[in-house]
Amino acid sequence: MAKAVMRVLTSDEEEFIHRRTLQVLEEIGVLVRSDSVLSALEDAGASVDERSHVAKMPEEMVKGALRSAPTSFRLCARRRDNDIDLPASRGPHLTTDGLTLYVHDDDTGENRNATKEDFANFARLADALEPVDFFWPIVTISDVPSGSHNLHELWTALKNCGMHVQGDCTSAGDAKKMIELGAIIAEGREELRNRPLFSCATNPISPLSFDKGAVEAQAEFAKAGIPVLCHSMSIAGMSSPVTLAGTIVNINAENLASIVISQSACTGAPHIYGSCSAPADMRSGTVDFYAPEAMLISVAAGQMARRYGRPCMVASWGMGGKGAGNRLSHSQAFAYASNAFAGSDLISGIGGLDHAKGCSLAQMVLDSAEWIDFEPFLKDFAIDSSAVALDAMREVGPGNSFLSHLHTVKNFRTELGIREDRSLLLRSLGSDLRWKEARAAARALVKDHHVDSLDSKCIMEGDRILKEHDRALLRKTGIATVSL
């Protein structure tokens, strides 16, 4: 099948990036702040400096990890018809933005901390919206102990949507608890290995470093068969070279190092090549996800992932700017939309605001509506004898029309997208009016959408695990501000 995929690197340039990446890993290495992971890397063939905690990875070690990491696997869901096969066969799978800092209250217009109830509503809305294929915890919950918000977000998501959940984790202890929670629903650890109901993003700290908690969590997930996303956040000019080529090498090096780490923990562990990288705004020091260069970086990362045959999440989608509604300029919207052509299997960003700092239920509805309008640009189409239609061409002959030919009648609905006039009108309305409609739609979907409930015994067991974890955490830290 043919489909529209952008390229910014020639084949020679891909090879150049690859060779320079291997040079970085072998000569510069990566900082790994974990003795246990460093030990596993050394056993697997890395050269480790115990004083600096830097691991240097020879070319053959990297190639071996690429050979052993699976090139295809499944992200499973409570509802089996929501399972996602990677790589994606028919266009990218869409998810929400991840771990934003605040929720935009669509009724008051204020930004505030998110509660567990807010989070449950986001999970239910994601489950209700047809374009959203899996759920990434979109906002950080504030009304739980801060040290356990990742666990609460995973459990709340699993209870309130029937899709695959992509979590976040920053410690081996939390990883073990997440695996325990997933196993409750899957009815056993081996069953969870066979059907991973969640995956986890364990981001490196650019440039070229892996924090102790996150990398030890990654090792635990690898051993349990839980897919790991290496979500490199290489910020050109800040955490990676200001040149695009340097940033692409940094992204690639972090991803290949992450694959080596997973394979050193458990051969055959599922791994997703990832990037959420962009240039720095040199005027403010913030990240500019809507910059033209962000699109070029995404496309290049997608090319490198495909070069290695890796399932990937290197693109974003979402029209929310600094304010609620669709307030991007034409150039910003074009840059953001264009990275959907990066060939990414998974795309994040639905519902995000203000460069992934905030989120909104109504924005999820707006972004989903925009995606429905945009998705036809990514459709695949057949290139074969039937599609070329030589028989129809012979029958119509030179100088005549195909309009009334049977071939056109049979195929025009599947071959040509037909936009409804009302749909186009709604998309052309001013942002404020569309926001009002989206707000009402979000309210109705959260209220009326049905999500199959977990078994009551399952819920009780998961809730018990979280309560015991929180009590232990609060005793350890001496904080007692959250009622359990």
Tens-place pLDDT, residues 251-280:
999 999 999 999 999 999 999 999 999 999
CA separation (Å) from 192 to 158, 224, 412? 13, 8, 43
What does the alpha-carbon distance between residue 275 and residue 313 come to, in Å, rounded to a whole number?
7
What does the alpha-carbon distance between residue 155 and residue 267 come to, in Å, rounded to a whole number?
28
Quick one: pLDDT at residue 286?
Answer: 87
pLDDT digits over 17-61, tens only?
Answer: 999 999 999 999 999 999 999 999 999 999 999 999 999 999 999
Residue 481 in this model has a pLDDT that exceeds 60: no
What does the alpha-carbon distance between residue 475 and residue 473 come to, in Å, rounded to a whole number?
5
Residue 132 in this model has a pLDDT that exceeds 70: yes
CB 423 within 8 A of CB 368: no
What does the alpha-carbon distance between residue 149 and residue 163 come to, in Å, rounded to a whole number?
20
* CATH superfamily membership of 66-378: Trimethylamine methyltransferase-like (3.20.20.480)
Outline where 116-272 has alpha helix (H). 116-128, 149-160, 172-186, 189-194, 212-224, 244-265
The first and second tokens of residue 86, run together, are 């990677």
The first and second tokens of residue 171, run together, are 């410690």
What does the alpha-carbon distance between residue 319 and residue 365 come to, in Å, rounded to a whole number?
11
Mean pLDDT of 276-301: 93
Residue bearing the bigger pLDDT, 377 or 81: 81
Residue 117 in this model has a pLDDT that exceeds 90: yes
Residue bearing the bigger pLDDT, 109 or 478: 109
CB 202 within 8 A of CB 220: no
Quick one: pLDDT at residue 19?
Answer: 98
Residue 114 in this model has a pLDDT that exceeds 50: yes
Mean pLDDT of 216-232: 98
Helices 212-224 + 244-265 axis angle, to 10:
50
Q: List where CATH 3.20.20.480 sits in the chain.
A: 66-378
Residue 480 in this model has a pLDDT that exceeds 60: no
Tell me which residue has tokens 């990742």.
150
Indicate the average pLDDT of the chain.
92
The first and second tokens of residue 325, run together, are 């509604």
Quick one: pLDDT at residue 294?
Answer: 94
Mean pLDDT of 437-466: 94
Residue 93 in this model has a pLDDT that exceeds 60: yes
Residue bearing the bigger pLDDT, 438 or 250: 250
Mean pLDDT of 344-355: 93
Residue 77 in this model has a pLDDT that exceeds 80: yes
Torsion-angle region of 349 (φ positive above 0: left; ψ -120 to 50: alpha; else: beta)? left
Quick one: pLDDT at residue 420?
Answer: 64
How many C-beta atoms lie closer than 10 Å to residue 254's C-beta?
32
Quick one: pLDDT at residue 305?
Answer: 98
Quick one: pLDDT at residue 427?
Answer: 53
Q: How much is the pTM?
A: 0.94
Residue bearing the bigger pLDDT, 234 or 482: 234
